[in-house]
């Protein structure tokens, strides 16, 4: 019983050989695009700004996190890029900060702006929260679900 969690270390067990990157890309794509369609849905149903605040920071966070490959942060790649390894780390740091910030802000908007004020329509708040959550997890899957060994 004491060792039963040892078999669950998922960084090794999700290696279905060559398909891993494909599956990770597709899963991340599904999460990301569903999040956008949730927002389009909320924007279509509630077009005015006071019911629904149209803001898109999570997308930028996703783009930033995934613009930098893991290899550049570790310093393995041959070309330094224009900012070098430290620049890559700072970029990734800012990207993750934006991602976490967007997630927390969306929870804040949901609970502070919609639930606590007991607004009549809660759905825009829920939509914003789910959009951010999906983009966050989609970004994580896209970044950490793929291995760069398959790129050699």
Partner 1 sequence: LSFTALVLLSFSGAIGLTFLMLGCALEDYGVYWPLFVLIFHAISPIPHFIAKRATYDSDATSSACRELAYFFTTGIVVSAFGFPVILARVAVIKWGACGLVLAGNAVIFLTIQGFFLVFGRGDDFSWEQW
Nearer CB in complex with partner 1: 45/115 = 45
Q: How far apart are the first and last CA of the chain?
A: 40
State the Cα–Cα distance between residues 103 and 98, nearest whole angstrom.
Answer: 9
Positions that interact with partner 1 (CB under 8 A) = 18, 21-22, 24-26, 28-30, 32-34, 37, 40-41, 44-45, 69, 142, 146, 150-152
Nearer to partner 1, 26 or 97 (CB): 26
Least separation in angstroms between residue 4's CB and partner 1 is 33
Work out how close the CB of 25 gets to partner 1 at its nearest, in angstroms, rounded to a whole number. Answer: 4
Q: Where are the beta strands (DSSP E) in the chain?
A: none
What's the alpha-carbon Rg for the chain, to the nearest Å?
Answer: 19
Under a CB-based contact definition with an 8 Å cutoff, are residues 138 and 28 in contact? Answer: yes
Nearer to partner 1, 81 or 112 (CB): 81
Q: Could you tell me the smallest distance in angstroms from the CB atom of residue 39 to partner 1?
A: 11
Q: Alpha-carbon distance 41 to 51, whole Å?
A: 14
d(CA 93, CA 34): 26
Please report how close the Cβ of residue 26 comes to partner 1 at its closest, in angstroms.
Answer: 5
Residue closer to partner 1 by CB (options 74, 117) is 74
Instruction: Please give the DSSP secondary-structure letter assigned to residue 152.
Output: -
């Amino acid at each position: 019983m004491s060792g039963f969690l040892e078999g669950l270390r998922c960084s090794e067990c999700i290696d279905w050989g060559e398909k891993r990157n494909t599956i990770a890309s597709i899963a991340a794509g599904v999460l990301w695009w569903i999040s956008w369609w949730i927002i389009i849905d909320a924007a279509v149903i509630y077009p005015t700004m006071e019911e629904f605040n149209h803001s898109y920071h999570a997308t930028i966070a996703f783009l930033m996190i995934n613009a930098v490959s893991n290899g550049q942060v570790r310093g393995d790649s041959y070309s330094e890029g224009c900012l070098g390894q430290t620049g890559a780390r700072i970029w990734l740091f800012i990207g993750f900060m934006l991602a976490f910030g967007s997630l927390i802000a969306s929870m804040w908007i949901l609970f502070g702006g919609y639930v606590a004020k007991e607004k009549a329509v809660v759905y825009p708040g829920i939509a914003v929260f789910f959009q951010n959550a999906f983009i966050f997890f989609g970004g994580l899957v896209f970044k950490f679900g793929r291995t760069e060994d398959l790129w050699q």
